[in-house]
Amino acid sequence: MPTHLDFLLDAMDMPYLNPYLDSLGAPNFQKGCNYAAAASTVLPATPTSFSPFSFGVQVNQFIHFKSRVLELRSKGKKLDKYLPAEDYFQKGLYMFDIGQNDLAAAFYSKTLDQVLALIPTILAKFETGIQRLYDQGARNFWIHNTGPLGCLAQNVATFGTDPSKLDEFGCVSSHNQAAKLFNLQLLALCKKLQEQYTDGNVTYVDIYTIKSNLIANYSRFGFEQPIMACCGCGGPPLNYDSRIVCGQTKMLNGTLVTAKGCDDSSEYINWDGIHYTEAANQYVSSQILTGKYSDPPFSDQMPFLLKLKF
Protein backbone atom coordinates (compact mmCIF):
# COMPACT_ATOMS: atom_id res chain seq x y z
CA MET A 1 0.00 0.00 0.00
CA PRO A 2 1.73 3.24 -1.14
CA THR A 3 1.95 5.83 1.61
CA HIS A 4 1.89 9.53 0.94
CA LEU A 5 5.72 9.38 1.10
CA ASP A 6 5.69 7.10 -1.96
CA PHE A 7 3.53 9.56 -3.89
CA LEU A 8 5.81 12.45 -2.89
CA LEU A 9 8.81 10.50 -4.20
CA ASP A 10 6.91 9.76 -7.41
CA ALA A 11 6.24 13.46 -7.91
CA MET A 12 9.95 14.19 -7.56
CA ASP A 13 10.92 11.37 -9.96
CA MET A 14 12.72 9.63 -7.10
CA PRO A 15 12.83 5.89 -6.48
CA TYR A 16 10.96 4.51 -3.46
CA LEU A 17 13.20 4.40 -0.40
CA ASN A 18 14.47 1.08 0.89
CA PRO A 19 13.80 0.53 4.60
CA TYR A 20 16.84 0.62 6.86
CA LEU A 21 15.61 -2.63 8.43
CA ASP A 22 15.82 -4.30 5.02
CA SER A 23 19.60 -4.01 4.83
CA LEU A 24 20.30 -7.64 3.93
CA GLY A 25 20.90 -8.56 0.29
CA ALA A 26 21.64 -5.58 -1.93
CA PRO A 27 19.18 -2.75 -1.20
CA ASN A 28 19.99 0.57 -2.84
CA PHE A 29 20.36 3.49 -0.43
CA GLN A 30 21.86 5.88 -2.98
CA LYS A 31 18.84 8.20 -2.99
CA GLY A 32 17.94 7.80 0.67
CA CYS A 33 16.79 5.50 3.43
CA ASN A 34 13.49 5.00 5.28
CA TYR A 35 13.69 4.48 9.06
CA ALA A 36 9.93 4.24 9.65
CA ALA A 37 8.61 1.16 11.46
CA ALA A 38 4.98 0.25 12.15
CA ALA A 39 3.55 1.57 15.44
CA SER A 40 6.72 3.46 16.37
CA THR A 41 6.59 6.29 18.90
CA VAL A 42 8.62 9.37 19.79
CA LEU A 43 8.87 8.30 23.44
CA PRO A 44 11.17 5.34 24.18
CA ALA A 45 9.56 1.94 23.83
CA THR A 46 8.56 0.00 26.94
CA PRO A 47 8.38 -3.81 27.33
CA THR A 48 4.70 -3.68 26.30
CA SER A 49 5.22 -1.45 23.23
CA PHE A 50 4.18 -2.86 19.88
CA SER A 51 7.34 -1.52 18.21
CA PRO A 52 10.83 -1.27 19.76
CA PHE A 53 11.93 1.24 17.09
CA SER A 54 11.15 4.53 18.82
CA PHE A 55 12.43 7.84 17.44
CA GLY A 56 15.67 7.73 19.45
CA VAL A 57 16.41 4.26 18.06
CA GLN A 58 15.68 5.48 14.52
CA VAL A 59 18.11 8.38 15.02
CA ASN A 60 20.73 5.90 16.30
CA GLN A 61 20.14 3.81 13.18
CA PHE A 62 20.72 6.86 10.99
CA ILE A 63 23.95 7.75 12.81
CA HIS A 64 25.16 4.16 12.40
CA PHE A 65 24.12 4.20 8.72
CA LYS A 66 26.00 7.45 8.07
CA SER A 67 29.24 6.28 9.71
CA ARG A 68 29.03 2.93 7.86
CA VAL A 69 28.45 4.70 4.52
CA LEU A 70 31.47 6.96 5.05
CA GLU A 71 33.58 3.98 6.11
CA LEU A 72 32.58 1.90 3.06
CA ARG A 73 33.08 4.83 0.69
CA SER A 74 36.59 5.36 2.02
CA LYS A 75 37.51 1.78 1.03
CA GLY A 76 36.94 2.19 -2.70
CA LYS A 77 34.29 2.80 -5.34
CA LYS A 78 32.72 -0.61 -5.81
CA LEU A 79 29.76 0.08 -3.50
CA ASP A 80 29.19 3.68 -4.64
CA LYS A 81 26.14 2.78 -6.70
CA TYR A 82 24.36 1.53 -3.56
CA LEU A 83 25.33 4.36 -1.19
CA PRO A 84 24.56 8.08 -0.90
CA ALA A 85 27.36 10.53 -1.71
CA GLU A 86 28.98 12.11 1.34
CA ASP A 87 27.46 15.55 0.68
CA TYR A 88 23.93 14.07 0.55
CA PHE A 89 23.92 13.92 4.34
CA GLN A 90 24.07 17.71 4.46
CA LYS A 91 22.07 18.46 1.29
CA GLY A 92 19.39 15.81 1.78
CA LEU A 93 15.81 16.30 2.92
CA TYR A 94 15.00 14.81 6.33
CA MET A 95 11.29 14.04 6.54
CA PHE A 96 9.41 13.34 9.79
CA ASP A 97 5.90 12.07 10.43
CA ILE A 98 5.73 10.77 13.99
CA GLY A 99 3.79 11.34 17.22
CA GLN A 100 0.36 9.97 16.35
CA ASN A 101 1.14 6.60 17.94
CA ASP A 102 2.25 8.28 21.18
CA LEU A 103 -1.13 10.01 21.49
CA ALA A 104 -3.16 6.98 20.37
CA ALA A 105 -1.45 4.65 22.86
CA ALA A 106 -1.74 7.13 25.73
CA PHE A 107 -5.56 7.21 25.52
CA TYR A 108 -5.75 3.54 26.52
CA SER A 109 -4.41 4.30 30.00
CA LYS A 110 -4.85 8.05 30.52
CA THR A 111 -7.57 10.70 30.75
CA LEU A 112 -7.70 13.48 28.14
CA ASP A 113 -6.03 15.90 30.58
CA GLN A 114 -3.23 13.40 31.23
CA VAL A 115 -2.72 12.89 27.47
CA LEU A 116 -2.53 16.66 26.94
CA ALA A 117 -0.05 16.95 29.80
CA LEU A 118 2.18 14.38 28.08
CA ILE A 119 2.55 16.41 24.87
CA PRO A 120 5.48 18.63 26.02
CA THR A 121 7.40 15.48 27.05
CA ILE A 122 6.83 13.90 23.62
CA LEU A 123 7.97 17.06 21.84
CA ALA A 124 11.02 17.52 24.06
CA LYS A 125 12.11 14.02 23.05
CA PHE A 126 11.43 14.86 19.41
CA GLU A 127 13.52 18.04 19.68
CA THR A 128 16.42 16.04 21.15
CA GLY A 129 16.34 13.72 18.13
CA ILE A 130 16.23 16.63 15.67
CA GLN A 131 19.18 18.27 17.44
CA ARG A 132 21.19 15.04 17.21
CA LEU A 133 20.53 14.94 13.46
CA TYR A 134 21.51 18.61 13.13
CA ASP A 135 24.75 17.82 14.97
CA GLN A 136 25.35 15.10 12.37
CA GLY A 137 25.08 17.68 9.57
CA ALA A 138 21.36 17.50 8.68
CA ARG A 139 20.11 20.91 7.55
CA ASN A 140 16.79 20.43 5.71
CA PHE A 141 13.92 19.31 7.92
CA TRP A 142 10.40 18.59 6.64
CA ILE A 143 8.17 18.03 9.67
CA HIS A 144 4.63 16.75 9.16
CA ASN A 145 2.11 17.31 11.91
CA THR A 146 -0.32 14.59 13.01
CA GLY A 147 -3.70 13.88 11.42
CA PRO A 148 -7.20 13.78 12.94
CA LEU A 149 -6.65 10.81 15.24
CA GLY A 150 -10.30 10.70 16.30
CA CYS A 151 -11.47 9.97 12.73
CA LEU A 152 -9.73 6.57 12.54
CA ALA A 153 -12.22 3.68 12.76
CA GLN A 154 -10.03 2.00 15.39
CA ASN A 155 -10.52 4.93 17.76
CA VAL A 156 -14.20 5.44 16.91
CA ALA A 157 -14.83 1.74 17.67
CA THR A 158 -12.94 1.84 20.96
CA PHE A 159 -13.66 5.33 22.34
CA GLY A 160 -16.75 6.49 20.41
CA THR A 161 -19.46 4.05 21.49
CA ASP A 162 -21.20 6.92 23.33
CA PRO A 163 -22.49 9.26 20.56
CA SER A 164 -21.94 12.31 22.80
CA LYS A 165 -18.19 11.67 22.49
CA LEU A 166 -18.35 12.18 18.70
CA ASP A 167 -18.22 15.41 16.69
CA GLU A 168 -20.43 16.32 13.70
CA PHE A 169 -18.31 14.15 11.37
CA GLY A 170 -18.45 11.05 13.57
CA CYS A 171 -14.91 11.47 14.93
CA VAL A 172 -13.88 11.13 18.60
CA SER A 173 -13.65 14.71 19.89
CA SER A 174 -11.07 14.07 22.64
CA HIS A 175 -8.60 12.41 20.25
CA ASN A 176 -8.85 15.27 17.76
CA GLN A 177 -8.46 17.80 20.57
CA ALA A 178 -5.20 16.09 21.59
CA ALA A 179 -3.99 16.00 17.97
CA LYS A 180 -4.71 19.74 17.57
CA LEU A 181 -2.86 20.67 20.76
CA PHE A 182 0.06 18.44 19.76
CA ASN A 183 0.17 20.24 16.40
CA LEU A 184 0.06 23.71 17.97
CA GLN A 185 3.02 22.85 20.18
CA LEU A 186 4.83 21.16 17.27
CA LEU A 187 4.38 24.34 15.20
CA ALA A 188 5.83 26.39 18.07
CA LEU A 189 8.82 24.01 18.19
CA CYS A 190 9.31 24.35 14.42
CA LYS A 191 9.25 28.17 14.71
CA LYS A 192 11.87 27.95 17.45
CA LEU A 193 14.06 25.67 15.29
CA GLN A 194 13.62 27.98 12.28
CA GLU A 195 15.16 30.77 14.35
CA GLN A 196 17.80 28.53 15.92
CA TYR A 197 19.05 26.83 12.73
CA THR A 198 19.99 29.91 10.75
CA ASP A 199 21.95 27.77 8.29
CA GLY A 200 19.10 25.28 7.87
CA ASN A 201 15.53 24.95 6.59
CA VAL A 202 12.70 23.81 8.87
CA THR A 203 9.33 23.35 7.16
CA TYR A 204 6.16 22.44 9.06
CA VAL A 205 3.42 20.68 7.07
CA ASP A 206 -0.21 20.82 8.19
CA ILE A 207 -1.35 17.27 7.43
CA TYR A 208 -4.21 17.66 9.95
CA THR A 209 -5.99 20.31 7.88
CA ILE A 210 -5.54 18.34 4.64
CA LYS A 211 -7.00 15.15 6.16
CA SER A 212 -9.79 16.97 8.04
CA ASN A 213 -10.87 18.71 4.84
CA LEU A 214 -10.89 15.36 3.05
CA ILE A 215 -13.05 13.71 5.75
CA ALA A 216 -15.45 16.68 6.03
CA ASN A 217 -15.89 16.94 2.24
CA TYR A 218 -15.30 13.32 1.24
CA SER A 219 -18.01 13.09 -1.44
CA ARG A 220 -16.69 16.20 -3.20
CA PHE A 221 -13.39 14.36 -3.66
CA GLY A 222 -15.00 11.20 -5.01
CA PHE A 223 -15.11 9.09 -1.84
CA GLU A 224 -18.14 7.27 -0.43
CA GLN A 225 -16.87 6.27 3.03
CA PRO A 226 -15.05 8.83 5.22
CA ILE A 227 -14.46 6.65 8.32
CA MET A 228 -15.48 3.03 7.65
CA ALA A 229 -12.55 0.66 7.01
CA CYS A 230 -12.26 -0.97 3.58
CA CYS A 231 -10.43 -4.01 4.97
CA GLY A 232 -12.01 -5.38 8.12
CA CYS A 233 -15.07 -7.23 9.36
CA GLY A 234 -18.40 -6.47 10.96
CA GLY A 235 -19.86 -4.36 8.17
CA PRO A 236 -21.25 -0.82 8.56
CA PRO A 237 -20.89 1.61 10.18
CA LEU A 238 -17.17 0.96 10.85
CA ASN A 239 -16.35 -2.51 9.46
CA TYR A 240 -13.74 -2.72 12.21
CA ASP A 241 -13.14 -5.25 14.99
CA SER A 242 -10.10 -4.76 17.22
CA ARG A 243 -9.78 -8.54 17.67
CA ILE A 244 -8.95 -9.21 14.02
CA VAL A 245 -6.61 -7.31 11.69
CA CYS A 246 -6.90 -6.91 7.93
CA GLY A 247 -6.05 -10.17 6.15
CA GLN A 248 -6.46 -12.32 9.24
CA THR A 249 -8.83 -15.29 9.66
CA LYS A 250 -9.90 -16.01 13.21
CA MET A 251 -12.54 -17.77 15.30
CA LEU A 252 -14.81 -15.12 16.85
CA ASN A 253 -17.68 -16.23 19.08
CA GLY A 254 -17.62 -19.70 17.52
CA THR A 255 -17.61 -18.46 13.91
CA LEU A 256 -14.64 -18.41 11.53
CA VAL A 257 -14.28 -14.82 10.35
CA THR A 258 -11.93 -13.22 7.79
CA ALA A 259 -11.10 -9.51 7.74
CA LYS A 260 -10.96 -8.95 4.00
CA GLY A 261 -10.71 -6.00 1.65
CA CYS A 262 -13.72 -4.24 0.15
CA ASP A 263 -14.51 -4.39 -3.58
CA ASP A 264 -13.25 -0.90 -4.41
CA SER A 265 -10.79 0.71 -2.03
CA SER A 266 -10.84 3.97 -4.03
CA GLU A 267 -14.27 4.66 -2.51
CA TYR A 268 -12.80 4.59 1.01
CA ILE A 269 -10.55 7.03 2.86
CA ASN A 270 -9.58 4.43 5.45
CA TRP A 271 -7.93 1.12 4.61
CA ASP A 272 -7.83 -0.97 7.81
CA GLY A 273 -9.12 1.24 10.61
CA ILE A 274 -5.73 2.91 11.13
CA HIS A 275 -4.06 3.60 7.77
CA TYR A 276 -5.35 5.52 4.78
CA THR A 277 -6.08 3.93 1.39
CA GLU A 278 -3.91 4.47 -1.66
CA ALA A 279 -6.55 6.84 -3.10
CA ALA A 280 -6.63 8.92 0.10
CA ASN A 281 -2.83 9.01 0.33
CA GLN A 282 -2.67 10.22 -3.26
CA TYR A 283 -5.05 13.07 -2.41
CA VAL A 284 -3.03 13.98 0.73
CA SER A 285 0.21 14.05 -1.31
CA SER A 286 -1.32 16.26 -4.00
CA GLN A 287 -2.30 18.76 -1.31
CA ILE A 288 1.11 18.67 0.41
CA LEU A 289 2.71 19.47 -2.93
CA THR A 290 0.65 22.61 -3.46
CA GLY A 291 2.91 24.11 -0.78
CA LYS A 292 0.06 26.07 0.78
CA TYR A 293 -0.18 23.81 3.84
CA SER A 294 3.47 24.43 4.69
CA ASP A 295 5.08 26.96 7.00
CA PRO A 296 6.94 28.61 5.40
CA PRO A 297 4.91 28.01 2.17
CA PHE A 298 6.98 26.78 -0.75
CA SER A 299 4.82 26.64 -3.88
CA ASP A 300 6.99 29.17 -5.73
CA GLN A 301 10.10 27.05 -5.18
CA MET A 302 8.82 23.82 -6.71
CA PRO A 303 9.68 23.47 -10.41
CA PHE A 304 9.04 19.72 -10.23
CA LEU A 305 5.34 20.46 -9.60
CA LEU A 306 5.02 20.63 -13.38
CA LYS A 307 5.78 16.91 -13.53
CA LEU A 308 3.08 15.91 -11.05
CA LYS A 309 1.38 12.63 -11.81
CA PHE A 310 -1.87 13.38 -9.94
> pLDDT band at 195, cuts 50/70/90?
very high
pLDDT at 203 exceeding the cut of 50: yes
Question: What pLDDT, in 10s, does the model give residues 161-185?
Answer: 999 999 999 999 999 999 999 999 9
> pLDDT band at 260, cuts 50/70/90?
very high
- Per-residue model confidence (pLDDT) at position 179: 98
- Say what the pTM is: 0.94
pLDDT at 310 exceeding the cut of 90: no
DSSP per-residue letters across 70-118: HHHHHT-STTGGGS--TTHHHHSEEEE---HHHHHHHTTTS-HHHHHHH
Q: Phi then psi for 179, rounded to 5 degrees?
A: -60, -40
pLDDT at 305 exceeding the cut of 80: no
Residue range 90-114: mean pLDDT, rounded? 97
What residues are paired with 166 via a beta bridge?
Answer: 172
Question: What pLDDT, in 10s, does the model give residues 121-156?
Answer: 999 999 999 999 999 999 999 999 999 999 999 999
- Per-residue model confidence (pLDDT) at position 123: 98
- Per-residue model confidence (pLDDT) at position 23: 78
What is the rounded CA–CA span in Å between residue 224 and residue 143?
30
Residue range 222-240: mean pLDDT, rounded? 97
Q: Which residues, other chains included, contact 44 with Cβ-Cβ below 8 Å and sequence gap of 6+?
A: 54, 56, 125
Residue range 85-109: mean pLDDT, rounded? 97
Cβ contacts of 117-122, under 8 Å, gap ≥ 24: 119/178, 119/181, 119/182, 119/185, 120/185, 121/43, 122/42, 122/43, 122/182
pLDDT at 309 exceeding the cut of 70: no
Residue range 5-34: mean pLDDT, rounded? 87
Q: Find the helix or strand (DSSP H, E) in which 55 lies.
A: helix 55-74
pLDDT at 75 exceeding the cut of 70: yes
